[in-house]
Amino acid sequence: MNDTVLDVSDLHLHRGARPVLAGVSLDVRRSELVAVMGPSGSGKTTILRAIAGLERFQAGRITVDGIALAGGAAIPAPTLRELRRKVGMVFQFHCLFEHLSAIDNVCLAPVHAYGVSPARASQRALQLLAAFGVEHRAMAMPSQLSGGEAQRVAIARALAVDPPLLLMDEPTASLDPERRAELGALLNGLRRQGRTLVIATHDEDFVQEWTTRVVRLRDGVIEPAPRSA
Amino acid sequence: MLRWAGDPEGGAPFVEADPSRPDRVVGFDVEVADLFARGLGRTPEFLNVEYKSIDQSIARGDADIGMSGIEDTPARRATLAVTIPYYEFREVLSVRDADAARIRSLADLRGKTVGTLGGTIAYEILLRAQREHGLRAVSYDDDVHPYSDLLIGRVDAVLLDNVLAERRHRTMKGLTILPQTVAVGHYVGLLSAQSAPLRDSLNEILRTSMRDGTLERIFRKWDVWNDDQPQLYARLLAGEPVPAVTGLDASANVATMTRWEAARRYFPSLLRASAITIILSCLSMGLAVAIGVLIATGRVYAGRPAQAALTAYVELIRGTPILLQLFVLYYGLAAAIRLPAFVAALLGLALNYAAYESEIYRSALEAIPVGQLEAARTLGLSERQVLTLVRAPQAFRLALAPMTNDFVALLKDSSLVSVLTVLELTKQTQIFATNLGSWVIPGTLCAALYLAMSLPLAAFARRLEQRWRTVRP
């Protein structure tokens, strides 16, 4: 059985003449929590965006749970649709839909993109919100949520369609230490349930404490680095 | 100096810009004004005033005297000072040649549309005939378009004085002037109520010119002399009273009623005109919103050529006056499509406002953070769903307040469509004010009606804005 959930090989991505990723390879297995680290502008976020199908790349290959994206041409729409089921993404600024309540944010994609009945979608959304300790905020609008609450709703939204791979961009950026520990525990729990996570972060302490592996990006390539604790 | 007001847009033979020297005016009214100035030992100075505003302009004291084919009416006699008449005209009907055998008088025009110049005796007669003979009166702002619309079939007859009718008859083929005289009226000089002494001097000058043939020479020169004039002059010189109008019962004229009685009489017509205003505004706003959404969506999502075309449309509409657009739509395109006045008004307002609405929607769509759109995409929503479920609903909230403001603006801009003969609130008020000889009551009623329509909208916009503000950080 192939345990690899994410396979990035020799990924090249440039914007105009400027290379952003110059041959990145990365292999992530089921139940790993991998941190991509590196200085600002090193391409951490870009890798996540490419995996989520938000960036075109010029060469290389990304495979997520059997769905392969090839460099060069635009990604065909059917491939992109399949990819969306496989990858969930939580943005640094959460990007909740401002006009919908927390629970409606979570239910939007299951109901409209995957044809789940509204009743079942709500039930599942409440379970997710409860699992992350924000079910009492289900009817709140995004502008009424704290940073930590908004992040949990965003995670619930990404997991509502049950993707095997979850990407998070700078998840600890707006959290105080206490909330950071709670997030670590939450992600760890997801990992134990068999979810695979890749996060882009600056946060050495968080990485030391919670992730299973660190890769470091510098100048568009992954540095050979010792395994973290 | 003798300042006199006239409207050169009315054209020859009254007052028109001299074709060889466009800064000068010529016409029989110009020569009568010269006659007055010479008789008073003053220099004439011409003031360009729109025909329907001449009464107000004289009342305000902008000029000493108004002359531009100004009709003698009971209202003018009651509220201003008028000279003795210097020309007698007949109100006559013009029809298309093909109808000349079937139509002989107003009574034959039941169910038909009859055009004329607004604010004239002819319009009063048509309003009366609307009730008595069941025709439909249409008021124009000038005396050329009634005849061109008659030729293309938008109206079935035109009632105007014989001087105007004969002038059009010479330049347009296919029109017949019916022999029956509908009413008889007179051209006079118009002065403010305080100018009775000046009026008396002018009357003396007119009588002298009637006696010594000066007036006859002027009218012969402009080819409008006829047998009616010597008879008029004879009656005037013999001291006989000359009624303002013959053939139109003046007893029901608003100028002879009390102000409140007149207001009571006119109020229902103002309410009807308000209904036109609100219906026209709602329909055009609805259409403008629909077209605006399409334009905005196209400008955000379509390919380059479509984007360029839509941008060009928006800039063309925003860069030219709405009045011009209305004229082009109604009169300019008449050769190709003959739009009914209400439809042309509706389309003109809608196409104009669509350009402005589209800019509101475009900037609202572009104000939705890219992150939200990407989040929606990663969740598996299609591009169409991203637009309809995430982008558009949020853009709509941003657009609502400016849209409501535009609706209030449209409500007032709808008064512009009176140039297309649509009788909306402002136009009806103007007619009321002209007949009454005062703007105080009509203006107050009109303002109250506009406010009654726009204030609830403004309140609605404020409420929505407050509601969104409590939700947004």
Cβ neighbours of B390 in A, within 8 Å = 97, 108
Query: Rounded to the nearest 10 degrees, how much is the dihedral formed by the CA atoms of B220, B226, B227, B231?
Result: -70
Nearest CA in chain B to A168: B375
Q: Which tokens go with B299?
A: 């400008």
User: Which chain A residues touch B if contact means CB-CB below 8 Å?
Assistant: 52-54, 81, 84-85, 87-89, 91, 93, 95-99, 108-109, 112-114, 141, 143, 154, 157-158, 160-161
Distance from C-alpha of A25 to C-alpha of B376, rounded to nearest angstrom:
28
Q: Are strands B136-140 and A4-15 parallel, antiparallel or unpaired?
A: unpaired
Q: Which of A56, A99, A106, A108 is the best residue to mutate to test the B interface, defined by the most B CB atoms within 10 Å of its own CB?
A: A99
Q: From the first residue on, what is the mean pLDDT of each consecutive set of 10 residues in chain B (473 residues)?
A: 88 84 88 94 91 86 92 88 95 94 91 90 89 89 89 93 91 91 94 93 95 94 93 92 79 62 82 93 96 95 93 95 92 84 94 96 94 94 94 91 90 89 87 78 92 88 72 45
Which residue type does B171 have?
T
For residue B33, the Cα-to-chain-centroid distance in whole angstroms is 27
- Domains with residue ranges and CATH for chain B: 2-85+188-251 (3.40.190.10), 87-186 (3.40.190.10), 259-471 (1.10.3720.10)
Collapsed DSSP state (helix, strand, coil) of residue A222: strand
Q: Which helix (H) or strand (E) holds B232?
A: helix B228-237
Question: What pLDDT was estimated at residue B19?
Answer: 82
* pTM given for the model: 0.77
Distance from C-alpha of B434 to C-alpha of B16, rounded to nearest angstrom:
24
Which residue type does B337 have?
I
Cβ neighbours of B398 in A, within 8 Å = none
What burial class does residue B241 get, using C-beta atoms within 10 Å of its C-beta: 0-12 exposed, 13-18 middle, 19+ buried?
exposed
Q: What is the ipTM of this complex?
A: 0.93
User: Which chain B residues touch A if contact means CB-CB below 8 Å?
Assistant: 369, 371-372, 374-382, 385, 389-390, 393-394, 397, 471-473
Q: Which helix (H) or strand (E) holds A196?
A: strand A196-200
Q: Which tokens go with A121?
A: 């979608």
Collapsed DSSP state (helix, strand, coil) of residue A67: strand
Q: Which residue from B371, B385, B471 is facing A143, i.e. has the nearest CB?
A: B471
Q: Residue A226 has what DSSP assignment?
A: P
Question: What pLDDT was estimated at residue B342?
Answer: 92
Distances (CA, A) of B124 to A106, B138, B248, B260: 68, 11, 8, 20
pLDDT in tens, A149-160: 999 999 999 999
**CA–CA–CA angle A65, A152, A208 (5° rounding):** 70
Phi/psi of residue B361, each to 5°?
-70, -40
Distance from C-alpha of B354 to C-alpha of B360, rounded to nearest angstrom:
10
Question: What pLDDT was estimated at residue B236?
Answer: 92
Question: What pLDDT was estimated at residue B373?
Answer: 95
- Mean pLDDT, chain A, as a whole number? 90
Question: What pLDDT was estimated at residue B459?
Answer: 86
- Cα Rg for chain A, rounded, in angstroms? 17
Question: What pLDDT was estimated at residue B472?
Answer: 46
Q: Shortest Cα distance from A153 to chain B (angstroms)?
A: 13
Report which of B422, B448, B437, B472 is spatially closest to residue B113, judged by C-alpha positions.
B422
Distance from C-alpha of B230 to C-alpha of B213, rounded to nearest angstrom:
10
Distance from C-alpha of B332 to C-alpha of B449, rounded to nearest angstrom:
33
Question: What pLDDT was estimated at residue A1?
Answer: 44
Report which of B168, B138, B143 is spatially closest to residue B155, judged by C-alpha positions.
B138
Question: What pLDDT was estimated at residue B252?
Answer: 54
A226 has pLDDT over 80: no
Q: Is the dihedral of CA B336, B340, B341, B343 positive or negative?
A: negative
Cβ(B461)–Cβ(B404) under 8 Å?
yes
Nearest CA in chain A to B398: A99
- Domain A4-223 sits in CATH 3.40.50.300: yes
The domain ranges of chain A are 4-223
Cβ neighbours of A158 in B, within 8 Å = 378-379
Collapsed DSSP state (helix, strand, coil) of residue A70: strand
Collapsed DSSP state (helix, strand, coil) of residue A150: helix
Cβ(B16)–Cβ(B9) under 8 Å?
no
Distance from C-alpha of B410 to C-alpha of B442, rounded to nearest angstrom:
21
Question: What pLDDT was estimated at residue B255?
Answer: 55
**Sheet order of strands, A18-29 included:** A18-29, A4-15, A59-64, A67-70
Q: Which helix (H) or strand (E) holds B89?
A: strand B87-96
Distance from C-alpha of B411 to C-alpha of B285, rounded to nearest angstrom:
9
Report which of B147, B95, B91 is spatially closest to residue B123, judged by C-alpha positions.
B91
Give me the residue label for tokens 């003053």.
Answer: B42
Distance from C-alpha of A202 to C-alpha of A38, rounded to nearest angstrom:
7
Percent helix / strand / coil, chain A, rounded to 5 = 40, 25, 35
Q: Shortest Cα distance from A180 to chain B (angstroms)?
A: 23
Question: What pLDDT was estimated at residue B435?
Answer: 72
Averaged pLDDT for residues A3-11: 91
pLDDT in tens, A22-63: 889 999 999 999 999 988 888 889 999 999 999 999 999 999
Collapsed DSSP state (helix, strand, coil) of residue B390: helix
Q: Which helix (H) or strand (E) holds B211?
A: helix B196-212
Give the contacts of B366 (CB within 8 A, at least 6 positions apart): B300
Query: What whole-number percentage of chain A has pLDDT above 70?
Result: 97
Q: Which tokens go with B27?
A: 């016409």
Question: What pLDDT was estimated at residue B224?
Answer: 92
Nearest CA in chain A to B392: A99
Report which of B82, B442, B439, B75 is spatially closest to residue B256, judged by C-alpha positions.
B75
